[in-house]
Amino acid sequence: MNLNFQLEARCPETEARLGRFRTTHNEVETPQFMPVGTVGSVKALDPRDLTDLGATVILGNTYHLGIRPGVPTLQALGGMHTMAAWPGSILTDSGGFQILSLTKLRKISEDGVVFRNHIDGGLLNLTPEKSIEIQEAIGSDIAMVLDHLAPSNSERSVMEEAMGRTTRWALRCLEARKRSDQALFAIIQGGVVEDLRQRHVEELCAHDFDGFAVGGLAVGESIPQMYETLAFTAPKLPENKPRYLMGVGTPQDLVEGVARGIDMFDCVMPTRNARKGGLFVDQGRRKINLNNAKFRDERGPLDPTCTCYTCRTFSAGYLRHLLVAQEILVYRLLSIHNLHIYLNLMRNLRGALREGRFAQFRRDWWSGVPTKG
C-alpha cells in the first residue's frame, strides 16, 4: 500500500524533516511516537485515553498475538482495530525482536524460527509467510518484514549472516502479502558497522517496500555508537518513504533521532517505567522515581511544567501513596503522564520544524538537561 508520504519541511542545519502519510484509518503526521500495545492493548489505557493524548498510531506484536488469541480468534473478532476499538492506525512488529529476547525458547533456520512459546510451551513456527499471515489477521496498517535481529556487538560474521537472512526473509514477505490495504516496511540491519549498514541499505532499498526501518539498535551498543549509526544510515534511505527507528527510546533519543532524519519511533519505556514509578518530567529532560520518600507529603503536582490530566488533578503525594499501595488506578494515571510527555515532545518537534526553528528548539531543549556527575 502506497502511504503517499509527503515531505513538508526540512531543517537546514540537521537531517530533521516534517511529513505526513495516510493509512486506511487516518492521517499520520511525522515525526511521530507510537505507544506500544503488545497484546492488543496499551497497558492500563483505553482508546479514549490514547486519543485524548494525541496518539495516532499504536503497536501490536505478531509473536504475542499469534500465540494468544491466535489467527482464528483474531479473524473472528475482526482484527485488532475492531476488537480493541482503536480508530487510528496500527503498526505490527513481525516477531523478529523475540528472536533476540527469547533466545532460550527458539531455534532459528533459513526457513524461519520455531518458538516454544512462553505461555503453554506450545510451538510456533514463525516463517516469513506465517508472520505476514498473522499480521494480515491482526489487520495492521503497517506490517514489518520478519528479520533476524542480532546484538549490535556481534562478531562481523554473525552480523553478516543475520543481514543476509533478513534480506531473503524480507523478499519472501513481499511475495506472501495478500492485503492491498497494508503497507510493508523492510528493516535495515548491520549493527554499528558502516559498510554493513551501507550494504543492507542497497540490498533492501532496491525493492518496492512502502517504508524502511532502522533495526538492530539499542541492543548492546553505546548511545554515541547508536547516534553515529543513525547519522550514517537514515539519510541513505529513500526520501519519499517513512523512516522508522525501532524500539528507541528516551526523550533524548527522540530529539536526536529526529535530528538525524527519523520519522517514526516506538518504545515500551514510557508505559513500562510509569508502572514502576519512573516518570519523565520537565518536557522529558529529567526522570524522577516516585517511590522516593521525598514525595510522600508533596501536595503539588509531580511535574509543575506538565499539563496532562494526572498533573492537573492529583498531587505527587497522593500518586506516590497509590503506587506504594499498588492501587490499580495509579498505573493508568502515571502512564497518561509519561505518554503525554512523549507525545507532547513530538508535537513540539513538529511545530518547530513547521516554523523553521528546529535547530534552536533542539539547542534550547538540551540546555535544560542536567549534566551528569
Question: What tens digit of pLDDT does each residue of 63-78 get?
Answer: 999 999 999 999 999 9
Q: What pLDDT is attached to residue 87?
A: 98
Domain ranges, ordered by start, for the chain: 36-266, 274-362
94-98, 158-162, 190-194, 246-250: the lowest-pLDDT one: 94-98
Return the C-alpha cell found at 229: 549509526
Return the C-alpha cell found at 250: 528516551
Residue 105 per-residue DSSP state: G
Asked if 166 and 203 touch (Cβ cutoff 8 Å), the reply is: no
Q: What pLDDT is attached to residue 225?
A: 97
Asked if 74 and 138 touch (Cβ cutoff 8 Å), the reply is: yes
Question: How much is the average pLDDT of 172-197?
Answer: 97
Question: Where residue 124 falls among pLDDT bands split at 50, 70, 90?
Answer: confident
CA distance readout (Å), 174 to 117, 140, 341? 26, 16, 36
Q: What pLDDT is attached to residue 372?
A: 72
Cβ-based neighbour number of residue 60 at 10 Å: 28
pLDDT over 60 at 104, yes or no: yes
C-alpha neighbours within 13 Å on the C-beta side of residue 29: 14
Q: Say whether pTM exceeds 0.85.
A: yes
Question: What tens digit of pLDDT does each residue of 254-265 get?
Answer: 999 999 999 999
Range list of H helices, the chain: 47-53, 62-67, 71-76, 79-83, 96-101, 128-138, 156-176, 194-205, 223-233, 251-259, 269-275, 309-313, 316-324, 329-354, 358-367
pLDDT over 60 at 34, yes or no: yes
Question: Where residue 182 falls among pLDDT bands split at 50, 70, 90?
Answer: very high
The overall average pLDDT reported for the chain is 96
Question: What tens digit of pLDDT does each residue of 225-243 get?
Answer: 999 999 999 999 999 999 9
> Which DSSP string corresponds to 112-151?
-EEEE-TTTS-EEEE-HHHHHHHHHHHT-SEEE-------
pLDDT over 90 at 105, yes or no: no
Q: CA–CA separation, 170 vs 94, rounded Å? A: 11
CA distance readout (Å), 250 to 146, 180, 181, 237? 25, 34, 32, 23
Q: What pLDDT is attached to residue 333?
A: 98
Q: 3-class SS at 223?
A: helix
Residues in the chain: 373
CATH number for the region 36-266 comes to 3.20.20.105
Residue 248 per-residue DSSP state: B
CB burial readout 27-56, b (16+ within 10 A) else e: ebbbbbbbbbbbebbbbbbebebbeebbbb
Question: What tens digit of pLDDT does each residue of 275-298 get?
Answer: 999 999 999 999 999 999 999 999
Q: What pLDDT is attached to residue 311?
A: 98
pLDDT over 80 at 373, yes or no: no
Q: CA–CA separation, 226 vs 356, rounded Å? A: 26
The set of catalytic residues is: 93, 266
First to last CA, the chain: 49
Q: By C-alpha distance, which of 56, 61, 31, 60 is closest to 234? A: 31
Q: By C-alpha distance, which of 104, 150, 141, 106 is closest to 126? A: 106
